[in-house]
Homo-oligomer: A and B are copies of this chain.
Amino acid sequence: MPARPTMKDVARQAGVSTMTVSRVVNGEPGVMPETAARVHRAIRSLGYQRDDVARQLRRKGQLTQTVGILLDNVADPFMASLASAVEDVARQQGSVVLIGSSRDDPVREREVVSAFTSRRIDGLILIPVAGSHRFLRNAVATGTRVVCADRSATGLKTDAVVVDNRGSANRAIAHLIAHGHRRIAYLGDRLDIWTIEERYAGYLTALAYAGIPADPAIVRHGLRLADDATAAMTGMLAEADPPTAVLASNGIVGLGVRAALPAGTALVSFDDFLLAAQLDPPVTVIAQDPVAMGSTAAHLLFSRIHGDSSPPRTVVLPTRLVARGSGEISGPY
């Protein structure tokens, strides 16, 4: 395996100093066209490419043009869209993106953050897992900008881009109640996830506001997979006094619930999903815009990287309740 050629190799071949090569490689002015051409020829003939690892070392205080994005799970469509939007903005800004999945594991999250910061990323888009993020303070203090997306972090004041989860859940329940439902189940993911907690709180608030007592018999937490949700729903339907409507805390749960849902039972799910409209009956969803979220978070991150040091901001993006008539239109009877 031939070693990667260096500026020295190019300099020797072109009969100039490494400084001249450096100037040519970086398009700096003050090199005779004649000389530059000789250097370019040597570059091509050797297949030289600038080593940015070495470059970054010398250019201290400069940016590495690398940002990180750490999310739950790249395979989740919501996260994937968000990541894609972040990547687009990063590319526009001339940066590359390191990606990592925490899989909701705080240990893994710390490890990945550490692997990222030891590579001197300029900034981090973080979808924080449950638990404290005080460990990020060092990183922030030494210049790594952090913007949270989807969820906000605890123990650390950062910029964040979120939606009004509580209000959205509240509106969804109000919508069901307006259509005559009073026995409304909640099926959800782990309650220690910030967004999930907020959504559940919205569910409770809306019931309380309507004077409907919350019934633990039709509430399930901790559903991670679609199959978990299907099983939970099936179990709930077998009990006495089953619900006439269901709120699903997120897309995965919604999907799982849908598979067990009897005709006529209403379903409102957080997160729009492909095909939700093609199902019969279609599923009513609380749609978020992951692209807007990723793009907003990325723009915020780069404005920080470029020197914006105003106080941390939380941007709240709107959601849309897409009423598709999953049974709630005709009412429970």
Q: Taking beta carbons and an 8 Å cutoff, which residues of A are in contact with B?
A: 1-5, 47, 49-54, 56-57, 61, 64, 66, 73-77, 79-81, 83-84, 87-88, 91, 96-101, 108, 112, 114-120, 138, 141-143, 255, 258-259, 273-275, 278-280
Contact = CB atoms under 8 A, between A and B. Distances in A.
Contacts of A51: 118, 120
Given A75-B80, A80-B74, A275-B273, A101 B115 contact: no
A299 to B, nearest CB: 18
The A interface, classified by DSSP as helix, strand, loop or mixed, is mixed
B142 A4 contact: yes
B53 A64 contact: yes
A119 B97 CA distance: 12
A174 to B, nearest CB: 27
Total copies of this chain within the assembly: 2
Given A73-B84, A96-B116, A4 B143 contact: yes
A142 B47 contact: yes
A51 B142 CA distance: 12
A3 B144 CA distance: 11
A126 to B, nearest CB: 15
A258 B74 CA distance: 27
Given A2-B141, A4-B143, A141-B2, A96 B100 contact: yes
| 3 shortest interchain CB distances as A-B pairs | A80-B80, A75-B84, A47-B138
A74 B57 CA distance: 31
A75 B114 CA distance: 26
